[in-house]
């Protein structure tokens, strides 16, 4: 379980640092989920559809956006989804352009947020080693680092997960802009995507295969490379 791993530093025991990490996880999670959904609604509004605005989905209130299953998955494994923003493509000024831009809006927003918070994680990581262990400033800098690092990581994880062509994720919505939803693949995805997701999650929890599980290779390795690339950019800029 993700929260347990954060709290105990991978099972080593509860520490002050672990408690601060869990506290930092909450706003990091809110940032990834809420701004992803607001981005969908705003881009839909720019394309001429005010449905999300009418239903109050352009709000920062997390209760407006959370899907209970997606939230549980986010807490347990570090990726999930929020309640889909209501969109009416018939209101778009240009239907296809509107569908495409709305579909990618959340993922692009997550990647931009990850890139920006990578700057904070880079700076606070360097500052962290300049503090006296156990001091108030040490814990403050540690919290700021964990907040930035977790926000970066969760946004990257959320972007990678949502771009998968599984219903009702953004990847499926984007793919439906280019292919007929009545074809065999799309019908299969609409019917079995939930089972596919559950199967992938189960594989990620089997010790023997976890290292090579699809989610670990995709979310873990690819996501790790993206985070490393973002932080490397800021280290180059700030020369730290």
CB 44 within 8 A of CB 98: yes
Calpha distance 150→121 (Å, rounded): 9
Vertex 189: Cα angle to 177 and 221 (nearest 5): 90
Q: Is 37 a catalytic residue?
A: yes
CB 60 within 8 A of CB 34: yes
Tokens of 140: 């403050």
Tokens of 94: 């240009």
Chain-centre distance for alpha carbon 203: 20
Tokens of 220: 């873990």
- Find, among 149, 172, 169, 170, the residue nearest to 223 by Cα: 149
Q: Is 94 left (phi over 0), alpha (psi -120 to 50) or beta?
A: beta
Question: Which member of 37, 146, 181, 231 is catalytic?
Answer: 37
Task: Give the list of residues 6+ apart from residue 109 with CB closer than 8 angstroms, or none.
Answer: 35, 36, 39
Tokens of 57: 């989905």
Answer whether the bond into residue 168 is a cis peptide, omega within 30°.
yes
Calpha distance 92→52 (Å, rounded): 13
Catalytic residues: 37
């Amino acid at each position: 379980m993700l929260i347990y791993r954060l709290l105990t530093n991978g099972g080593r025991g509860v520490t002050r640092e672990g408690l601060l990490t869990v506290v930092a996880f909450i706003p990091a999670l809110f940032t990834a989920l809420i701004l992803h959904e607001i981005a969908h609604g705003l881009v839909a509004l720019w394309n001429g559809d005010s449905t999300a605005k009418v239903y109050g989905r352009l709000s920062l209130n997390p209760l407006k956006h959370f899907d209970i299953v997606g939230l549980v998955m986010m807490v347990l494994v570090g990726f999930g989804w929020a309640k889909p923003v209501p969109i009416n493509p018939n209101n778009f000024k240009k239907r296809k352009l509107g569908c495409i831009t709305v579909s990618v809006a959340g993922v692009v927003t997550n990647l931009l947020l990850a890139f920006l918070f990578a700057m904070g994680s880079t700076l606070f990581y360097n500052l962290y080693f300049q503090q006296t262990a156990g001091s108030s400033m040490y814990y403050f800098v540690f919290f700021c680092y964990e907040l930035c690092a977790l926000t970066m990581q969760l946004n990257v994880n959320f972007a990678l997960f949502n771009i998968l062509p599984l219903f009702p994720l953004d990847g499926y919505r984007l793919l439906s802009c280019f292919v007929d939803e009545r074809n065999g693949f799309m019908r299969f995805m609409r019917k079995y995507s939930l089972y596919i997701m559950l199967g992938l999650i189960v594989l990620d929890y089997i010790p023997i295969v976890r290292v090579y599980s699809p989610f670990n290779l995709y979310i873990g390795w690819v996501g790790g490379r993206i985070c490393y690339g973002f932080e490397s950019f800021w280290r180059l800029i700030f020369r730290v």
